[in-house]
Amino acid sequence: MHKYLAKSNPEETIQEHTDNLLKNYQRLKKLYPAVEIDWYLLELVCLLHDLGKMNLLFQTKLGNASGKGKEIPHGYLSVAFVPDSKLEEMGYSEDEIKVVYQAIARHHERKYDFSDSEWKNEIIRLEEQWEDFNYSQLGENAEYS
């Protein structure tokens, strides 16, 4: 399995970064149990938000791979892992699913300066990284690709 980084200084893998975020999610859930929020969807967003960092151009930027080309912000790539069919089967509405996409895509302020075809091509390349990515927290949800 390849080690995919989320941050380089200090070095932190995507899995470690997500585990830390999930700890904060659990704290929020414990501190604010009466907040009217769909905790499942929030946890899903936490799990998926940085999976786009597997792309080789992001890893190159962190010194963890080599590659050339135009980097698409990882949030826009991470949306490829949203299990929309599963969410529909669970009874989530189109609007609720759109909120998941928006929360993931826009968890950082980034310019949308790429074409749909550039995005689709990078998603195809990202599928190759997904084959080499293992994260137990995704469990049965690992069918996102």
pLDDT (tens digit, 9 = 90+) per residue, 118-143?
999 989 888 888 888 888 888 654 44
Joined together, the tokens standing for residue 122 give 């990078």
57 pLDDT above the threshold of 50: yes
pLDDT confidence of residue 42: 97
Per the CB < 8 A criterion, the answer to whether 58 and 74 are in contact is yes
Whether the bond between 10 and the residue before it is cis, its omega within 30 degrees of 0, is yes
If 0-12 CB within 10 Å is exposed, 13-18 middle and 19+ buried, where does residue 96 land? middle
The half-sphere exposure of 109 on its side-chain side, counting CA atoms within 13 A, is 0
The DSSP bridge pattern shows strands 11-13 and 5-8 to be antiparallel
Classify 5-137 by CATH class. mainly alpha
pLDDT confidence of residue 145: 36
46 pLDDT above the threshold of 70: yes
Q: Does the reported pTM lie above 0.95?
A: no
